Amino acid sequence: MAPINNNDIPEIKINLSGAGLRIGIVMSRFNVKASKGLLDACISELVKQKVQRADILLTTVPGALEISLALQKMATTGQFNALIALGAVIRGDTYHFEVVSNESASGVTAVQLKTGIPIANGIITVETDEQALSRMNQKGTEAARVAIEMVNLLRELDKKIP
């Protein structure tokens, strides 16, 4: 990606090198076909960006609302450079969709801000199974890239901001 800044202002460049990073993944088992697709794409991209398979830990939880608690536990161990939340929330006939979508996103953000560990939110919220299946590869790939990029960005900020 080309730099955003075309002036003489210093800019931190995007760094997608995952070499040496330890990544934790929490995946919802609800809507498992879409979640598994997200996971496959995510792991494929992590490995492509040089994260070693032995440095990836997967844990699964019953549904999207349980993801945040597992993320919080993993974040507080100090063993991970970044975490990734994966799941699919598919609209049903009730208001439950909105609750799960909003609360899972809020939970992921709260854990990230509380712990300072980057968390890529790869929980897709869609209307239909077909939409989930069509988005899973792209969103899984993006989640992997976000996790790696944010670790590297925070490291650069630590160097530049004493």
- Give the angle subtended at the CA of 159 by the CAs of 158 and 160, to the nearest 5°: 95
With H, G, I as helix, E, B as strand and everything else as coil, classify residue 3. coil
Closest CA to 80 of 12, 20, 39: 20
Closest CA to 34 of 105, 140, 142, 113: 140
145 is annotated as an active-site residue? no
> Of 33, 48, 73, 96, which is the active-site residue?
96
Active-site annotation, residues: 96
